[in-house]
Structure 1
Amino acid sequence: MNKKRVSMNYKQYKQLFEEILANLYPVPPYNEDLYLEYTKLNRSRMRRWDKLLELDENLVSLLRKITTPQHWIIITEPWCGDAAHTVPFLIRMTEQTGYVSYDIQLRDSEPFLIENYLTNGSRSIPKLIVQDASGYDSFNWGPRPKGAQELMDEMKANHADFETIKIALQNWYNKDKGVSLCSELAMLLSIR
């Protein structure tokens, strides 16, 4: 079923952060201080990754070998910490070939595309959906690299509080520097 989607490019997505943070009367959930703080942190994280990220050479080679059109849909939200560490990498990947187009869609806005890509029954983001030229899904990835997910699962099993989990994941992403994400996507792209 092909519903009309509201989508944006990376520049528009980053502009959304600015609009949220400048709004004197933000819409929910950004009317809560915690969500505004997440958005501010994530804007900073994305800016840092935009400047410093490096893609794995094997992945770049695979991306440059793509010879048929693909469309990538990235489902995210400005408040999502995992997304701040992955969306800049995904966008940089699309820039490596003229055959990959993309759009960014918000999880919490209609048409709620995330409902078709639940992770263990939850609306976890970010989510990457890779479609072929006909609009059929080739694969989807997300919400976080395997190592980060294992860390999250372990901490939840040990009943860690949200702040502890948040800091541990931030440290994981900073140490990993996108290597796991690049490796996982290289594997998914190489088997297509």
Structure 2
Amino acid sequence: MLTIIKSALEKSFTYSEYRAFVSQLIKEGKSTGNDQSADLLHYSELNEVRMNRLEKTLKMDAEILAALQKINTKQTWLVIAEGWCGDVAQILPILKLMTDSVDNIELKVVFRDENDTLMSEFLTNGARSIPKLIILDENLEVINHWGPRPEAAKNLILDYKAKHGIVDEPAKIALQKWYLDDKGMTTMKEIVAMLQ
């Protein structure tokens, strides 16, 4: 596992590098990942807008900040992502806010399709679901992992799929509305609870 983690970290991006890379691809009419389509480009463009908004509006409450400040060892938060993924667009700015709040946590981002071996170690029910947050200690050992979405958001999609048989555009809209109303609080609370 250590070799896989080190290999991924060698190809990783900082948050700002990730944002710049995805933006450049969009200007070139491309999305991240192995597959290219008009839909994936459209989702990438939508996510760029979402992330810009979240960077300006996300707030962290004092309780979350206090819990993060109790982390007294160096950590790396490695996130498996793709620019076209709506959940990534909602979660990554939250992780950026959290890691920016403390000095000893570094945020790194890797692309799923370029890190298949890593992704294979962190499947969700056999699927390559993203984002996936992998929390590493100072020796790059896995402390814990989280993702691809908060429990309530996961249940929203599972319930919708059980009722309608598919995850279609109305389901995606309902999920984005859930994220908008939640303002990142559930994600922050789940991650902090996992660290304690």
> Secondary structure of 2:73's match?
coil
Deviations 1:24-72 (A, max 9, x none): 5767656311001000000000000000001132111111121111111
Matches within 5 A, 1:41-56: 41-56=46-61
Task: Tell me which of 167, 171, 183 is aligned to 1:177.
Answer: 183
Could you say which residue in structure 2 is the equivalent of 1:137? 142
In 2 relative to 1, CA 120–72 (structure 1 residues): closer, same or farther, beyond 3 Å? Answer: same
Deviations 1:166-189 (A, max 9, x none): 111011101111111011112112
How far apart are 1:125 and its partner, in Å?
0.4
> Secondary structure of 2:113's match?
coil
Contact persistence 1:129–1:137 (CA under 8 A): yes
Task: Tell me which of 64, 67, 73 is aligned to 1:68.
Answer: 73
Distance 2:102 2:32 in 1: 37
How far apart are 1:137 and its partner, in Å?
0.9
> Secondary structure of 1:108's match?
helix
Which amino acid in the other structure matches residue 159 of structure 2?
Answer: E
In 2 relative to 1, CA 133–39 (structure 1 residues): closer, same or farther, beyond 3 Å? Answer: same
Task: Tell me which of 172, 178, 186 is aligned to 1:166.
Answer: 172
Which amino acid in the other structure matches residue 87 of structure 1?
Answer: L
Which amino acid in the other structure matches residue 190 of structure 2?
Answer: E
Most deviating of 157-166 and 33-42? 157-166
Most deviating of 62-71 and 39-48? 62-71
Moved over 4 A (4+): 24-30
Distance 1:164 1:24 in 2: 26
Which amino acid in the other structure matches residue 174 of structure 2?
Answer: A
Unaligned runs of 5+ in 2: none
In 2 relative to 1, CA 162–131 (structure 1 residues): closer, same or farther, beyond 3 Å? Answer: same
Could you say which residue in structure 1 is the equivalent of 2:89? 84
Which amino acid in the other structure matches residue 170 of structure 1?
Answer: Q
Structure holding more helix per residue:
2
Distance 1:79 1:135 in 2: 28
Identity of aligned residues (%): 36
In 2 relative to 1, CA 25–105 (structure 1 residues): closer, same or farther, beyond 3 Å? Answer: closer
Could you say which residue in structure 1 is the equivalent of 2:15? 10
Deviations 1:115-162 (A, max 9, x none): 110000000000100011111111100000000000000011112441
Distance 2:82 2:32 in 1: 13
In 2 relative to 1, CA 140–21 (structure 1 residues): closer, same or farther, beyond 3 Å? Answer: same
